[in-house]
Structure 1
Amino acid sequence: MFNEFFAQLPTVRDRAIVSTSVSSGARAAEMLSMRPCGVQVDTHTIEVIGKGRREYQPVRTSPDSLMWISLYLGDRPGGFGPADPLWLTLRGQPRPMTYWSLRQVLERANTALGTNITFHDLRHTYAYRLAADPTLLITDVQELMRHASLSTTQVYLRTRMENLVERLLAHYARPPAPPPRPAAGYDPADLAVLFGQDTVTGPDA
């Protein structure tokens, strides 16, 4: 669904916004706080004013999102200073985007697809992608999501039904493990008696 949604975005700016959001987990308000000077290609970070904060903090993002930001800055209307707001409107006189204009970036694609994707959904997608990576610890996900409490991060670790069914089918498809073989020097008959598996019958049993 995300790939279809991304394909509906008509401008480089819109693709830069959505790519950055889904690659960093940045909230809408945090996206609006971005400045050109906070885009650090060498460290794969952007700077945002996080929830409950007053100062800028670095946030990891993907090389793909940085590519879209670079394309956008190369064609950004009106030039810019390093501390200016990063995202500008495209119609009429360029001006800093508001929450409403940022939301319209998603609404155009939502209208085309009949979906209702929000920036919070993009943050959820980012979290689920992190949680699905077997090389990342839950504390890594907490740090990348910038959660103060680990219990908040655990909300994103709940198994989705399609993943549960897929793993269950894979479980049933695997052949059963072969029974263990006794080590050299042990009589299988003696081991059967020892573990209550003796099947010897008759008068001498």
Structure 2
Amino acid sequence: MLLNCCLVNEPMVVRDVGRLRLPQVGRVAPYDGDVPFLVLDAQDQPVVSVLDYLRMCQACGFEPLSIEAYARALLRWFRFLWAVEVPWNRATSVEARDFTLWLQQNKFHRRRPRPGRAGTVNARTGKRRPGAGTAPATINQTLSVVSEFYRHHISMGAGPLLNPIPARRPGPGGERYAAHHNPLQAFPSSRKAPLRQKVPKRAPRSLPDAAFDELFAAMRYDRDRALLAFYVSSGARPSELLGVTNRLVDPGNQTIGVIRKGTKALQHVPASPDAFVWLRLYQRDLPASCLRRSAPVFWTLRRPLRPLEYDAARAVLLRAQEALGTDWSLHDLRHTALMRMSQDLNLVEVRDIAGHGSLRSTEPYLQPRQEEVLAHAREHFERLRDPQRRHDAQPHLPSSVLGYDADDMLELFGGVR
């Protein structure tokens, strides 16, 4: 819907974003060609401009999951352009602004939403359920992808003359922001890029011991128990653990080999003895074809057996939590493992096990859990209420420290003893 208004005697056209409804046309589809995913339009034909950009991403070595995320971000943008009837190469900052406003009020549903009313806080986990609009981090990721999409086409001589979604203001000489940053120093202060949202800083969300025991007891199969035991002891990312093969499992040294998400390097990480016990119980009933050294460790329960993927593992966790009323995620299990390790290992060791590229990514795991902080605060107030405990908590200093020496006072101020 369009509204005509007048500012300084000049006509303007303003979109009523609140009433805008995007048609559910187009989709992201797997592809067996030179890119793993395509963005298809309403006629089920590939969007040529997006295909050209995704081919560039593939040539730069992007992972298939990253290319899929980029394709979905561009599908959001193109659905908006199709709704407002603006060609992609005619888009301006006005369309970018309206697109951001629409995202703040609406969202794209891909997976099954978490149980509970949108925007409320789960009383058991303390996690806020997604609201009616798109999360600020998702908006920023979408705007960054669209900005890079236009930067690519502008460098190729196609698209508009100006990028409708400019990036952060470049540094001296046109270099990117903090290109030569010293990791031992704080990042220089700078204004965020236009249209970018403020993202609150949150501590890693981890499961208390009682909550994990409750979740583990809700698992019905040995496969699911082994999966949780490896997640909460190895600290591997969800996709990394699902990619482990039988060749990379070493019960003798109690390690598993994972392919790191970013570097694609093979790294052996430790796991608890209980995890290997549950794995052995799970593998008793597997056919011989699933126990080959090159075969994946985790498989679906329904036949025909297929390697367990992320969406299926996530569904296992959601089904187990429906009766518990919790909404823990697979990544929360990784946070739990790293939080536990930080209590006994030093920061460098936790960083190496986690596969972080910088200590800055590992430092948040040194923060205490909110439950621990609240428990210590309650002990503090109880100690203040009890006079005997308050007296015992005070340090006992020698009298020579509490008072002044008489000879020193006479020396300083004079007088008679």
Q: Under a length normalisation based on structure 1, what TM-score does the superposition of the two structures give?
A: 0.83
- Deviation of the 1:102 alpha carbon: 1.4
- Offset, 1:181: 6.5
SS in 1 for 2:252: coil
Aligned to 2:31: none
Cross-structure match for 2:393: 175
Provide runs of 4+ in structure 1 moved above 4 Å.
Answer: 170-174
Alignment-derived partner of residue 72 in structure 1 = 282
Inter-partner Cα distance in structure 2 for 1:126 and 1:55: 21
For the residue of structure 2 that corresponds to 1:57, the secondary structure is strand
Q: What are the equivalent positions in structure 2 for 1:5-84 lying under 5 Å apart?
A: 5-79=215-289, 80-84=291-295
Structure 1 counterpart of 2:359: 150
Q: Distance in 2 between matches of 1:165 and 1:100?
A: 35
Moved more, 166-175 or 92-101: 166-175
In the superposition, relative to structure 1, how do residues 176 and 53 fare at CA in structure 2: closer, same or farther (>3 Å)?
A: same
| Contact 1:78-1:94 at 8 Å conserved across structures | no
1:204 and 2:416 are equivalent in the alignment: yes
Amino acid at match of 1:118: S
1:89 equivalent to 2:307? Answer no
Which deviates further from its counterpart, 16-25 or 154-163? 154-163
Q: Mind listing any 5+ residue stretches in structure 2 that lack a counterpart? A: 1-210, 384-388
Tell which has more relative contact order, 1 or 2 (C-alpha 8 A, sep 6+): 1
**2: distance between equivalents of 1:170 and 1:66?**
41
Aligned to 2:406, which of 186, 193, 196? 193
Residue correspondences, number: 192
Residue number in structure 1 paired with 2:95? none
Query: C-alpha distance in 2, partners of 1:177/1:87?
Result: 56
CA deviation profile, 1:116-140 (whole Å, cap 9, x unmatched): 111110011111111233xx21222
Distance, in Å, in 2 between the alignment partners of 1:63 and 1:31 is 16
Which residue is 2:106 aligned to?
none
1:111-190 equivalent positions in 2, closer than 5 A: 111-133=322-344, 136-168=345-377, 169=379, 172=383, 173=389, 174-180=392-398
Q: What is the aligned counterpart of 1:100 among 287, 311, 317?
A: 311
Cα deviation for residue 152 of structure 1 reads: 0.6
Structure 1 gaps, min length 5: 183-188
TM-score (norm 2): 0.43
Q: Distance in 2 between matches of 1:19 and 1:3?
A: 11
Change (3 A) 1:119 1:204: same
Cα shift at 1:95: 1.3
- CA gap 1:55/1:131 in 2 versus in 1, 3 angstroms: closer
Give secondary structure in 2 for the equivalent of 1:54. Answer: coil
| Percent sequence identity over aligned pairs | 36
Which structure's CA Rg is the greater one? 2
Q: By how many angstroms is 1:166 displaced?
A: 3.5
The one-letter amino acid of 2:308's match is: M
Task: Please give the alpha-carbon distance, in whole angstroms, between the structure 2 residues aligned to 1:122 and 1:160.
Answer: 14
CA distance in 2, matches of 1:193, 1:103: 74
Once residues 162 and 119 of structure 1 are traced to their aligned partners in structure 2, the CA distance between those partners, rounded to angstroms, is 20
Aligned equivalents of 2:333, 2:258: Cα separation in 1: 17
Deviation at 1:58, TM superposition (A): 0.9
Residue 227 of structure 2 aligns with an amino acid whose one-letter code is I
